[in-house]
Amino acid sequence: NAGVTQTPKFRILKIGQSMTLQCTQDMNHNYMYWYRQDPGMGLKLIYYSVGAGITDKGEVPNGYNVSRSTTEDFPLRLELAAPSQTSVYFCASSPGGGGANVLTFGAGSRLTVL
Amino acid sequence: AQTVTQSQPEMSVQEAETVTLSCTYDTSESDYYLFWYKQPPSRQMILVIRQEAYKQQNATENRFSVNFQKAAKSFSLKISDSQLGDAAMYFCAYRSVNTGGFKTIFGAGTRLFVKA
């Protein structure tokens, strides 16, 4: 059981380039999330999805886009990368949205924008 | 809006000793869940322990236990018989009980060092 798989693990981008962080889960979870983790800060929610075809913004959505065409996949797109997007990105999933639901995380993707 | 505060950026403990990590939160809700997540050097976050706010009994998971003080809005994590593998970043988190409360609020984290 792979859980939540993110790719790539590391990436260096130049300012203005675009890229997609891939996330897939094999637990048939309805909810999926993208977080970013900056040094000394907690995780901040970028986007989330409550099911295939449904996505919504979190706390820090500017500069990012997502899609959810299947239950398994939830890619995060960075358009016109900026140094402020240098961070570690985590994808997570949960069976539902209620408080009892525990998040299952991927291993993270470290992105550096130069 | 809910907030989670971890006032200890770093903590250190001797192997086999006990350490307590602090967490306070602010909310106007009466029912919610609190979590401690562990992030080892591998980066992958895993659940350590979960507490339901309407339950007065403190949650325990083997060497990990919490001290949940609802009135004080405090949720500390106690690690007993600390092991080298406990060295990690620990995040305290809050989650609303409602179905619409999908958002998990994380504290800034406490980095725990374990000395051999």
Residues A75-110: tens digit of each pLDDT: 999 989 999 999 999 999 999 877 778 899 999 999
Q: Kindly tell me the number of DSSP H helices and DSSP E strands found in chain B.
A: 0, 12
CATH topology assigned to domain B3-115: Immunoglobulin-like (2.60.40)
Q: Give B101's pLDDT tier (boundaries 50, 70, 90).
A: low
Q: Smallest CA–CA separation between B20 and chain A, in Å?
A: 19
The pLDDT value given to residue A77? 97
- Chain A residues contacting B, CB < 8 Å? 31, 40-43, 45, 48, 50, 58, 88, 90, 92, 96-103, 105-108
Contact, B38 vs B90, CB < 8 A?
Answer: yes
d(CA B63, CA B82): 8
Cα-trace Rg, chain A: 13
**In chain A, which residues have their Cβ closer than 8 Å to the Cβ of B91?**
42-43
What's the gap between Cα A66 and its chain centre?
Answer: 8
SS (H, E, C) A12-25: EECCCCCEEEEEEE
Nearest CA in chain A to B101: A98
d(CA A61, CA A65): 8
The pLDDT value given to residue B2? 84
Interface contact flag, B35 A41, Cβ < 8 Å: no
The pLDDT value given to residue A87? 96
Q: Which domains does chain A have, with CATH numbers?
A: 4-113 (2.60.40.10)
| Single-letter code of the amino acid located at A26 | D
**How many pairs of residues across A and B have Cβ atoms under 8 Å apart?**
62
Provide, rounded to the nearest whole percent, the portion of chain A with pLDDT above 70: 99
Tell me what the pLDDT averaged over chain A comes to. Answer: 93
Q: Which of A43, A59, A68 should we substitute to test contact with B (largest number of B Cβ atoms within 10 Å)?
A: A43
Tell me what the pLDDT averaged over chain B comes to. Answer: 92
Return the domain boundaries, chain B.
Answer: 3-115
Interface contact flag, B91 A43, Cβ < 8 Å: yes
